């Protein structure tokens, strides 16, 4: 055999026999736990959902880009022609170019694509990219919302990762007025990043449709505060200033309690909710007056008076909804919730940490939160809210929180509180204002968060304890123990101990990836003919697992046998290497002899025919 080939063969065999097992390690969560996210980029496209390069021939394609640098949003038009002067800058939003002009008589849809980065250390749940507040501002100051709109966003984003969210608006025949857009990235009701205020980022042209004029007049109360007697009295007017009749659909919510901030949970008082279908003659006005007495037993942070108008006649009617509203504010304290998260802490004993921020609702009439005025409760439900798994736990807030200030709260409980059962749970946090007289507490705010609990499950069985060679008294041997992780979480630095006849032989920490198995070896010299080897996983019960009953195994060994079965020797790596080399060498030698024999036979066959006459 060629010497060089033989050396290469030896190196390959040694590599195969001694290559280490691949170990996977999970990355630990560290650092702060505040929810942090940034809308790092927004692209705007006209009639092109794929955001291709702008076409000057069709007017379709990407027209503008907004990007974030150090907390400041920068606007940049991608269209060199058909731009209008930009509005004034401010310290949060700056214009690098003019703003594009879009002819709504030729185009139908406006697309926004946002890229959002999770800058925090925990997964953000209940994600939503809100583009509801997109308005044009009519010449009379009325706001008309681009109501034919849709949004799409993934529900979660992990730390350090991006999500892509989108908004679509119908814009065909929107008249020549200023347009503003206001985007926020939310987790539940908590805003993590926004454009601060409505921004003018494009200009509509192409339609001269004249919109109706609306007005809302408050008669009672005298100021925007619900004070006894809480009589609510308003007049709404709408005037058609066109020279042709206009049909409108009017919906209203009069004295309805609202929940649009801080997860505040209202009394649910509906007030008057309804709808009118109206035909307005040219230059005519339609009016309605509504009165409501708000119940004394309700305690709400805000009450909504709202009228919305949609034009339903004419092919040229723009996709807009005129809106006028006013909020009346309760004269009490209102403790809301924001920035909530749930995470598993795996350092030391496994615990579930629930974090959230307590924030007083701020309005012209609201009050500071006083000490011992509120209870906070934490309740763990199953995934379907059919039963309470843990809690409710209650804490009384023993400190003041002034309006405009916040208080971070961190609440932990052991995974044993849910019996270390893997699965999905719902974590619910509530705030309650305690009664000052008769009656029960008043429910103010609620956040519900999904939480998936995963744990390791390390198993060792008697058949997982093996030895490298037949045991002999006084001869060093090696115990080979297989540890399996049947759980869905990595087990890191898990303590294990090996005993022989009740005496500690070895102890070490091991790491077993989820769904995997590893083999650990321990040196052992038998001292007598029959000995019992016992293996214990997490002997002090420091690590939470889904099953603790499979953490101990034992096996008896006798000289030359394993109890209950014939002994099957496990060859050591060096012996196996030599055996493989010998087999391969023999095969190559036989192949060489066979080829040589065939060559000799071929030569003899050729000589036999030399000199013969045919």
With bands split at pLDDT 50, 70 and 90, how would you rate the model's confidence at 59?
A: very high
The string of pLDDT tens digits covering residues 565-593 is: 434 444 344 444 555 576 777 767 677 76
Residue 122 DSSP symbol: S
191-237 pLDDT, tens digit per residue, is 889 987 889 999 999 888 999 999 999 999 988 888 767 899 999 99
- Pair of tokens at residue 257: 């309690």
Tell me, yes or no, if the two domains 213-330 and 335-453 fold the same way.
Answer: yes
Where do we find the tokens 């030391």? Answer: 348
Domain locations in the chain as residue ranges: 37-205, 213-330, 335-453, 458-562
The CATH number of the structural domain formed by 37-205 is 2.70.50
Look over the chain and give the mean of its residue pLDDT values, rounded to a whole number. 83
Confidence band for 16, pLDDT divided at 50, 70 and 90: very low
Q: What is the tens place of the pLDDT at every residue in 149-173? A: 999 999 899 999 999 999 999 999 9
- As a whole number of angstroms, the distance between CA 555 and CA 480 comes to 12
Could you tell me the two tokens for 23? 């170990």
Separation CA 108–CA 124 (nearest Å): 34
Q: DSSP assignment, residue 180?
A: E
Highest mean pLDDT among 34-38, 354-358, 557-561: 354-358
- Residue 53 per-residue DSSP state: B
Which pair of structure tokens corresponds to residue 573?
């790596």
458-562 sits in which CATH class? mainly beta
Q: How far is CA 465 from CA 311, 460, 479, 483, 565, in A?
A: 79, 8, 7, 9, 14
What is the Cα–Cα distance from 178 to 121, expressed in whole angstroms? 40
**DSSP conformation class of 598:** H
> DSSP letters along 263-275, please?
TB-------EEEE
Is the CATH number 2.60.40.10 carried by domain 213-330? yes
What is the C-alpha to C-alpha distance for residues 536 and 121, in angstroms, rounded to an integer? Answer: 35
First to last CA, the chain: 44
- What's the rounded Cα separation, in Å, for the pair 453 and 416? 11
Mean local confidence (pLDDT), 398-411: 93
Report how far residue 248's alpha carbon sits from residue 316's, in angstroms, rounded to the nearest whole number.
14
Assign 595 a pLDDT band (cuts: 50, 70, 90).
low
SS (H, E, C) 339-381: EEEEEEECCCCCEEEEEEEEEECCCCCCCCECCCCEEEEEEEE
Would you say domain 335-453 falls under CATH 3.20.110.20?
no
Predicted local confidence at residue 320, as pLDDT: 96
pLDDT, one tens digit per residue, over 89-110 is 888 999 999 999 999 999 999 9
């Amino acid at each position: 055999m060629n010497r060089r080939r033989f050396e290469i063969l030896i190196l390959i065999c040694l590599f195969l026999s001694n290559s280490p097992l691949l170990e996977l390690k999970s990355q630990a969560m560290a650092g702060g736990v505040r929810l942090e996210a940034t809308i790092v980029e927004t692209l705007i496209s006209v009639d092109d959902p794929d955001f291709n390069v702008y076409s000057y021939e069709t007017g379709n394609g990407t027209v503008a880009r907004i990007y974030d640098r150090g907390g400041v949003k920068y606007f940049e038009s991608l269209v060199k022609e058909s731009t209008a002067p930009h509005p004034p800058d401010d310290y949060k939003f700056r214009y690098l170019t003019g703003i594009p002009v879009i002819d709504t008589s030729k185009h139908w849809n406006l697309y926004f694509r946002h890229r959002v980065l999770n800058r925090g250390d925990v997964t953000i749940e209940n994600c939503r990219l809100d583009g509801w507040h997109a308005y044009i501002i009519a010449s009379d100051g009325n706001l008309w919302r681009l109501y034919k709109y849709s949004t799409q966003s993934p529900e979660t984003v992990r730390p350090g990762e991006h999500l892509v969210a989108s908004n679509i608006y119908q814009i065909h025949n929107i008249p020549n007025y200023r347009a503003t857009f206001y985007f926020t990235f939310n987790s539940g009701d908590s805003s993590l990043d926004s454009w601060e205020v409505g921004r003018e980022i494009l200009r509509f042209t192409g339609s001269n449709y004249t919109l109706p004029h609306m007005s809302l007049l408050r008669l009672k109360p005298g100021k925007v505060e619900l004070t006894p007697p809480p009589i609510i009295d308003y007049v709404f007017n709408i005037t058609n200033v066109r020279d042709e009749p206009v049909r409108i659909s009017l919906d209203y919510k009069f004295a309805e309690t609202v929940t649009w901030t801080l997860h505040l949970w209202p009394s649910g008082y509906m007030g008057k909710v309804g709808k009118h279908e109206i035909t307005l003659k040219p230059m005519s006005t339609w009016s309605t007056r509504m009165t409501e007495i708000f119940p004394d037993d309700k305690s709400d942070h805000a009450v909504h008076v709202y009228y919305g108008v949609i034009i339903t006649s004419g092919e040229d009617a723009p996709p807009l909804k005129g809106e006028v509203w006013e909020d009346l504010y309760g004269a009490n304290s209102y403790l809301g919730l924001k920035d909530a998260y749930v995470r598993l802490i795996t350092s030391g004993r496994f615990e579930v940490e629930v974090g959230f921020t307590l924030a007083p609702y701020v309005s012209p009439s609201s009050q500071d939160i006083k000490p011992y005025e509120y209870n906070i409760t934490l309740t763990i439900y199953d995934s379907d809210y059919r039963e309470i798994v843990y809690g409710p736990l209650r804490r009384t807030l023993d400190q003041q929180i002034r309006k405009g200030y916040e208080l971070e709260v961190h609440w932990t409980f052991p995974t044993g509180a849910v019996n270390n059962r893997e699965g999905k749970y719902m974590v619910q946090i509530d705030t309650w204002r305690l009664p000052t007289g008769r009656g029960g507490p008043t429910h103010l705010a609620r956040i519900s968060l999904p939480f998936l609990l995963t744990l390791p499950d390390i198993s060792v069985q008697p058949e997982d304890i093996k030895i490298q060679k037949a045991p002999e008294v006084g001869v060093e041997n090696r115990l080979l123990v297989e540890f399996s992780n049947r759980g869905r979480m990595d087990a890191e630095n898990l303590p294990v101990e090996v005993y022989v006849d009740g005496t500690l032989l070895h102890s070490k920490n091991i790491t077993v990836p989820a769904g995997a198995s590893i083999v650990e070896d321990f040196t052992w010299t038998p001292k007598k003919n029959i000995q019992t080897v016992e293996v214990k996983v997490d002997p002090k019960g420091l690590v939470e697992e889904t099953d603790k009953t499979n953490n101990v195994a034992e096996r008896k060994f006798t000289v030359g046998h394993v109890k209950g079965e014939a002994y099957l020797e496990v060859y050591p790596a060096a012996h196996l290497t030599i055996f493989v080399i010998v087999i391969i060498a023999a095969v190559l030698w036989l192949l060489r002899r066979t080829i040589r024999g065939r060559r000799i036979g071929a030569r003899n066959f050729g000589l036999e025919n030399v000199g013969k006459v045919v």
